[in-house]
A = this chain, B = another copy of it.
Amino acid sequence: MILINGKKADQISARDRGLHYGDGLFETIAVIEGEAVFWERHLQRLEKGCQRLSLPFPDPALLQREAQSLIKNEPRAVLKLIISRGEGGRGYAYPEPTRSTRLLMPYLWPDYPIQNWRQGVQVRFCDTRLARQPQLAGLKHLNRLEQVLARNEWRDANIAEGLMCDENGNVIEGTLSNLFMLHNGVLHTPDLSQCGVAGIMRERILELAHRQGIRIEIDNITKAQLLAADEVFLSNSLIGLWPVNSLQGRNFKIGNITRSLQNLINQDYPLIHV
């Protein structure tokens, strides 16, 4: 069942600016035992995104009630939340008044193999680049053609994720995940001020690492630096943390810091059941 502006529906207005321009934002939220994990963080990010796009932010209490009605009996699921700028005429100017559309869609929990957490995943570099656009950087907006093109560069089911670079050759993120590497005990993750999505789980991992006293560097990472890393891992709200065991023929060990962060995530977020 999908809820669109609070009503059960399978369809959305053909005049919605989400369709015409990708004029909106989304969140992908893990549901565990009827609870939307990190709900508050997702809503905060969404609200900030709405501010940056001058998009009316719906009443959070209303969103929570609607989410609860969809997920309360779900042991495991995914909740996707879309906020678009609603219906509009032809043309880019904001409609007056703007009534945003809110769409809540539950999905089945993805059946990722348990080995992805335990033995790590194989990843590749994509040729599709992320364009530098500071006005949209960090946002989880509905303009996702770059990810669509990148994800469809490979069909090999053994490859769990593809990494995308910006036009300068800095590795920024995966098609659906953020990227971390450990080098001499320092945790590095790419700067997202020019492109990329600032993930909820990325933020959580940075908090956990900071509490563990791990030194953190948020900066540019070249392909060569990534290939020379001691440990590499990926994160998002559904996978939590996946170690990377192989990238373009280079093998990585799964070290203590990766495992300890994975265990910490697992405490408030029992994704793995290892």
Contact = CB atoms under 8 A, between A and B. Distances in A.
B10 A14 contact: yes
B147 A21 contact: yes
A208 to B, nearest CB: 26
B131 A133 contact: yes
Contact of A151 (B80, B93, B146, B147): B93
Given A14-B105, A103-B14, A92 B21 contact: no
A91 B176 contact: yes
A2 to B, nearest CB: 5
A126 to B, nearest CB: 11
A16 B18 CA distance: 11
Interface stretch (A134-142, A243-251, A265-273): A134-142
A11 interface: yes
Given A4-B14, A14-B12, A20 B142 contact: yes
A129 B134 CA distance: 9
A100 interface: no
B20 A144 contact: yes
B135 A149 contact: yes
Contacts of A167: 132
Interface stretch (A22-30, A31-39, A56-64): A22-30
Range of interface residues on A (Cβ < 8 Å): 35 or more
Q: How many copies does the complex hold?
A: 2
B82 A19 contact: yes
Contacts of A110: 90-91
Given A103-B14, A107-B90, A53 B149 contact: yes
Interface in A133-171: 133, 135-136, 141-152, 167
Given A11-B14, A129-B133, A21 B94 contact: no
Contacts of A255: none
A201 interface: no
Contact of A19 (B16, B131, B136): B16
A89 interface: yes
- Nearest 7 CB-CB pairings of A with B: A22-B22, A131-B131, A11-B11, A92-B151, A143-B143, A131-B133, A21-B144
18 contacts: A10-B13, A12-B14, A12-B16, A12-B19, A14-B103, A16-B19, A17-B148, A19-B19, A19-B82, A19-B84, A22-B144, A22-B145, A53-B148, A54-B152, A91-B151, A128-B135, A133-B146, A143-B145
